[in-house]
C-alpha cells in the first residue's frame, strides 16, 4: 500500500457526508487559464436541497465546511501549478 494511504487520517463518521459532498461538487466550479474557481454556492445549495437539508444551521455548516475544504484544495492546486 502506498505510504500516503497508510498515513492518511481517519475521517470521523459525522463528517463523511460533507467529505462526499465536497468531492461530488468538484465539477461545479469555474476553471479557466489554469485557475480553479471556488465551488459555486448554487451547487452547494442544490446538493443540500437534494439531500433534504432544511435546517439553517445544518445548511450553513455544510456550506462552511465545503468552502473551507475547497479553499485548501485550491491552494494545493495553485501550488502544484506554480511548481511546474
pLDDT digits (tens, 9 = 90+) for 12-48: 898 999 999 999 999 998 887 778 899 999 999 999 9
**Residue 4 domain-assigned?**
no
**Residue 38 domain-assigned?**
yes
CA distances for 14 relative to 23, 26, 53, angstroms = 16, 21, 15
**Residue 6 domain-assigned?**
no
30 CB-near residues (< 8 Å, 6+ apart)? 36, 37, 40
- Domain hosting residue 57, numbered range: 13-78
- Distance of alpha carbon 58 from alpha carbon 3, whole angstroms: 35
Query: Mean per-residue pLDDT for 34-63?
Result: 94
Domain count, the chain: 1
Model-level pTM?
0.82
Amino acid at each position: 500500500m502506498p505510504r500516503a494511504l497508510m498515513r492518511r487520517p481517519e475521517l470521523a463518521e459525522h463528517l463523511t457526508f460533507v467529505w462526499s459532498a465536497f468531492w461530488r461538487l468538484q465539477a461545479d466550479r469555474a476553471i479557466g487559464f489554469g485557475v480553479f474557481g471556488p465551488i459555486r454556492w448554487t451547487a452547494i445549495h442544490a446538493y443540500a436541497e437534494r439531500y433534504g437539508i432544511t435546517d439553517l444551521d445544518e445548511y450553513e455548516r455544510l456550506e462552511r465546511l465545503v468552502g473551507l475544504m475547497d479553499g485548501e484544495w485550491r491552494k494545493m492546486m495553485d501550488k502544484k501549478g506554480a511548481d511546474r
